Amino acid sequence: MCLLLKGGLVVDPDRNSIKKADVLLEEGRIAAIQPGLKAPDAQTIPVEGCYICPGFIDMHCHLREPGEEMKETILTGTRAAARGGFTAVVAMGNTKPPADSRAVIELVKGQAEAAPVPVYPVGCATKERKGLELAEIGDLVEAGIVALSDDGNPVMNSEVLRRVMEYSTMFNLLIISHCEDTHLSAGGIMHEGYISTLLGLRGIPRAAEEIHVARDIILAEMTGARLHIAHVSSAGSVRLIREAKQRGVRVTAEVTPHHLCLTDEAVMTFDTNTKVNPPLRTPEDVEALCAGLRDGTIDVIATDHAPHTLEEKDVEYNYAPFGISGLETAVSLMWDRLVAKGILTPVQLAQKMACNPAKILGLPERSVKVGNAANLTVINPQLKQPVRVESFVSKGKNSPFNGWELLGWPVLTIVAGKIVMSEGKLTGSERS
């Protein structure tokens, strides 16, 4: 099966260039890139005016299986990923039971065999994510994890985290840190500031995140571990990571689309879909996050896709669970809010959503280059349409972006040479 993408704009982060060319895909690989390609046997797909990017990877999502299949399954979550333009996802380990054993990792990998996009599992850093004893890290590595994390929770005990980091260096394994001092954040449901005071809601100060960012950087510096800070939300965290990188600490970081597109003002609607952890912060924080993306302090944009049922979110703000269903809006939000507004170039977006995640996770290089695996995300920058949660294939309809009219949408997702999404519709033989 050959595919010929005709007349697209090939995004090449290696050369920091965009050039008009046809792309021929053969046997799961990129076979040729040049203008005016002819391939009579290939299925030709016109993509004039569309950007052909290296395949996007979401390096932070919650697929909920095993244990909470009412919220999402590996199949529905990966279908949502394909629909959202992602060619691979990294699944966090806060499932029920948690991914602290070889058996759970093997179950995830087994379920992922029927998935439209590959799933890379994260193993827990500590047993049952309790932060007390190290998980069987050697076993988890053998089972095929790409990183360690107790995400959803921090490892509160610094001595335990030190040992996790020391152990991780034996495998050069990435540690993904959910940075939150849970004593400082206890009972909080939104950013602590003017608006939380106005609304009379309990706040979570920036310090709850920043103290852990600082601590984890210090421990990474001491142990030589590879540290990745998840969902950075505050200006202070960006500053700490920038300084650490300048000192040569092995630290990388990610930001979510919702922390870039919303502020704590959104909570004034009392829409429980604005309840996220870490919380939505202030315009100054958003500005610092954008600056961090531009100067390379923040390496990655990741969704932190956290699907919940309608019943769970349809309660008072206080009682709703934290999280947004993000896989099907991330790429479009980032195009509309960052690329179309000139904050990031298309090349930079491809770096943050494809090349850097692959590099940090130790996956094969993501770039549109002859010989590479044909993992591609094609974006139509002219397509303008509203977000409709009722059309989500994710079981999670919990999105604060419902109804937002966005410019620039993924229109093709190609995994190993096979189209898994075209014009917003899933294709292929996977179960529906």
What is the closest distance, in whole angstroms, from the C-beta atom of residue 177 to Zn ion in the complex?
A: 9
By DSSP bridging, strand 376-386 and strand 51-54 are antiparallel
Establish if 264 lies at the interface with Zn ion (CB under 5 A).
no
Give the shortest CB-174-to-Zn ion separation in angstroms: 15
DSSP string of 185-230, one letter each residue: HTT--EESSHHHHHHT--EE-HHHHHHHHHHHHHHHHHH--EEEE-
Which residue sits closest to Zn ion, CB atoms considered?
A: 178
Sites for Zn ion among residues 310-339 (CB under 5 A): none
CB of 353 to Zn ion, least distance (A): 19
* # of chain residues touching Zn ion (CB under 5 A): 2
Residue 3 or 302: which CB sits closer to Zn ion? 302
Instruction: Specify the residue for token string 């490892």.
Output: 155
Q: Please choose, from the candidates 139, 128, 63, 138, the residue with its C-alpha nearest in 3D space to the C-alpha of residue 99.
A: 128
Instruction: Give the nearer residue to Zn ion in terms of CB position, either 94 or 272.
Output: 94
Choose between 178 and 258: whose C-beta lies nearer to Zn ion.
Answer: 178
**Pick 22 or 209: Cβ nearer Zn ion:** 209
Which range in 109-117, 174-182, 193-201, 411-419 contacts Zn ion by CB under 5 A? 174-182
150, 304, 314, 336: the catalytic one is 304
- Options 65, 68, 100, 151; binder of Zn ion; rule CB under 5 A: 151
Minimum CB–partner distance for residue 231 and Zn ion (Å): 6
What beta strand segments (E) does 92-133 contain? 119-123
Clarify whether 304 is annotated catalytic. yes
* Alpha helices (runs of H) in 58-157, residue ranges in sequence order: 74-83, 102-112, 137-143
Binding segment (CB under 5 A) for Zn ion, from list 101-109, 136-144, 170-178, 419-427: 170-178
Burial group, residue 396, by CB count within 10 angstroms (0-12, 13-18, 19+): buried
Give the nearest distance from C-beta 432 to Zn ion in angstroms: 30
Nearer to Zn ion, 207 or 426 (CB): 207
CA 209: distance to chain centroid? 19
Kindly state the smallest distance separating residue 151's Cβ from Zn ion, in Å: 4
Closest Cα partner for 256 from 198, 208, 327? 327
**275 binding Zn ion? (CB under 5 A):** no
Strand 29-34 to 147-148 pairing = unpaired
Window 104 to 123, contacts with Zn ion (CB under 5 A): none
∠ CA 189-399-50, rounded to 5°? 135
Alpha-carbon distances of 152 from 155, 183, 323, rounded to whole Å? 10, 15, 10
Using CB under 5 A as the binding rule, whether residue 178 contacts Zn ion is answered as yes
Q: What is the DSSP letter of 144?
A: T
Of 135-143, 176-184, 244-252, 392-400, which segment contacts Zn ion by CB under 5 A? 176-184
Whichever of 3 and 276 has its CB closer to Zn ion, that residue is 276
Query: Contact positions toward Zn ion, by CB under 5 A?
Result: 151, 178
Active site residues: 304
